[in-house]
Amino acid sequence: MSAPRSFTITRKLTSARWLWMLAAAATVAMPQAHAQAQVGVPVPVVSVQSQPIGQGFELDGVVQAVKQSTISAQVPGRLTALLVKAGDKVRAGQLLASIDDREAQSGVQRSQAQVAQAQAELYNAQANFKRTQELRAQGFISAAALDTAQAQLKATQAARDQATAGGKQAGLSQTFTRVTAPFDALVLQTQAEVGTLAMPGTPLLTLYAPTPLRAVVQVPVSRARTLAAGAQVEVQLPTPDGALAWVHPSSTRALPGADPVSQTIEWRLDLPASAAAAVTVGQQVRVRFAAGQSLRLVIPTSAVLRRGELTAVYVARNKGFALKAVRLGAEHGAQGTEVLAGLMPGDQVAVDPIKAALNGAQAAGTPDQ
């Protein structure tokens, strides 16, 4: 049983030595203040109390365009012209690039010839059917001959329709050699150069509409479960004067499934038009999720004495202050810093730890004993 006792003694000595080092560091930090210390120096204190603290977390998000499109080639051919560059503004229907259309022109001419041939055959079949009807009415031919002529007429009509459809398809393919903008946008990047052999599906450039924008954030599944349907979400965006402000998105939605690799759920936060003007596509932003409140021990941030990785506070005692190590949690702005261990509700903590380290320091309002 000697080993556990030795461990306990060593741990107590280590803790005492830690507090002594922290107190010594605080003393060295203000040598002149100690030299001028007087007995009975009043130090303001606050009572440690449990306060309702909003439970939530912050994550990094990325600004995306709601309308973004990668323009790809739809017909094979060599890229003969690229008329825009990254950063250019384009209008819907504006010509962006051209692909060699000589093969498409040949296809159009071939289709036109096929249409003309089919039309001529149709005229011939119609004339033949009309003569066959007259001869049948006079009783010179059989009904089978009339049926044959009628079937030939329908076949030539179908051939004419097929040739016409082929001509329309060839004409449509020729229009694909002229790449145009599908909507008013900005050119995000170009992905091909003049002379590149484009094949169907080859990306040429990427466009995006400057508005509306949204912030996209990947929320871990473990945290997403704590977010209720009415959870408050805010996005930190720059203001026109250069400061940062928390803005509520105009709408929020979470995708129904999780990514199987990263185990995250994508949240899309639509930004209001006024706030979206201060950010750009691809910019990183901070997203804050609030998920209810809970009671936590909180002390003023100014009451914490920090020396490297050491954190402690001065707690009021009968005749002064005692240095006490604490384990801190997250900071909550004006509400203070959360205390995870080391203090109890009702403890009186010095607001100014440097002043509390002076000889003769006492809690304000406490008589000298």
Domain identity same for 281 and 307: no
The dihedrals phi and psi of 41, each to the nearest 5 degrees, come to: -70, 120
Residue 276 lies in a domain: yes
Does residue 78 sit within a domain? yes
190 and 289 part of one domain: no
Assigned token pair, 328? 């801190």
CATH number (domain holding residue 124): 2.40.50.100
Query: What SS3 state is found at 329?
Result: strand
Per-residue pLDDT of the chain (369 residues; tens, 9 = 90+): 444 443 333 344 344 454 545 555 444 444 444 444 455 678 788 888 777 766 667 889 999 999 999 999 998 999 999 999 998 999 999 999 999 988 888 888 999 999 999 999 999 999 999 999 999 888 888 889 989 999 999 999 999 999 999 989 888 888 899 999 999 999 999 999 999 998 999 999 999 998 899 999 999 888 777 675 557 888 988 887 777 888 889 888 888 889 999 999 999 999 998 877 788 888 999 998 876 666 777 888 888 888 777 888 888 887 788 787 888 876 766 777 878 887 888 888 888 777 777 777 777 754 443
Place of tokens 């030299």: 35
Is 278 among the domain residues?
yes
Tell me if 357 is assigned to some domain. Answer: yes
Q: What is the pLDDT of residue 125?
A: 92
Strands 89-90 vs 178-180: parallel, antiparallel or unpaired = unpaired
Integer Rg of the chain from CA: 40
Tell me if 24 is assigned to some domain: yes
The amino acid at residue 253 is: R
> Do 136 and 191 share a domain, yes or no?
yes
The answer to whether the CB of 246 falls within 8 A of the CB of 271 is no
Predicted confidence at residue 85, as pLDDT, reads 93
Partner residues linked to 285 by β-bridges:
61
Q: Do 190 and 237 have their domain in common?
A: no
Given a contact cutoff of 8 angstroms between Cβ atoms, the answer to whether 232 and 269 are in contact is no
Is residue 80 located within the same domain as residue 201? yes
Taking the CA atoms of 342, 344, 350 and 356 in sequence, report the sign of the dihedral they define: negative
Domain end position, chosen among 236, 264, 293: 293
**DSSP string of 225-280, one letter each residue:** TT--TT-EEEEEEE-TTS-EEEE--SEEEEEEEE-TTT-EEEEEEEPPHHHHTT--
**Residues listed for the chain:** 369
Residue 78 phi/psi, 5° resolution? -85, 135
Q: What is the CATH number of the domain that holds 228?
A: 2.40.30.170
Q: Which of 158, 175, 207 is the last residue of a domain?
A: 207
State the SS3 of 342-363. CCCCCCEEECCHHHHCCCCEEE
44 and 166 fall within a common domain: no
- Please give the tally of structural domains in the chain: 3
**For residue 46, which of 289, 355, 302 has the smallest C-alpha distance?**
302
Cα separation, 239 vs 237, whole angstroms? 7
Domain boundary among 207, 238, 271: 207
Note whether 282 and 324 are same-domain residues.
no
With contact defined as beta carbons under 8 Å apart, do 312 and 15 qualify? Answer: no
Any domain includes 368: no
Q: Does a structural domain hold residue 251?
A: yes
If you ran DSSP here, which 8-state letter would residue 192 be given? -
Q: Is the pTM of this model over 0.75?
A: no
Do residue 14 and residue 137 come from a single domain? no
Say if residue 122 is in the same domain as residue 184. yes
Q: Kind and range of the H or E element at 261?
A: none
Q: What is the pLDDT of residue 11?
A: 41
Q: Sign of the C-alpha dihedral, residues 125, 130, 135, 139?
A: positive
Six token digits for residue 166? 């082929």
Hey, which residues does 267 pair with through a beta bridge? 217, 254
Chain-centroid distance of CA 42 in Å reads 52
Whether residues 307 and 335 share a domain: the answer is: yes
Do residues 116 and 199 both lie within one domain?
A: yes
Indicate whether 369 belongs to any domain: no
Q: Are strands 361-363 and 41-43 parallel, antiparallel or unpaired?
A: parallel
Nearest to 222 by CA among 179, 262, 188, 175: 262
Query: The CATH number of the domain where 7 resides is what?
Result: 2.40.420.20
Adjacent-strand bridge partners of 49: 298
Please indicate, yes or no, whether residues 233 and 195 belong to a single structural domain of this protein. Answer: no
**Host domain of residue 99:** 73-207
pLDDT at site 351: 81
CA distance 274 to 240: 10
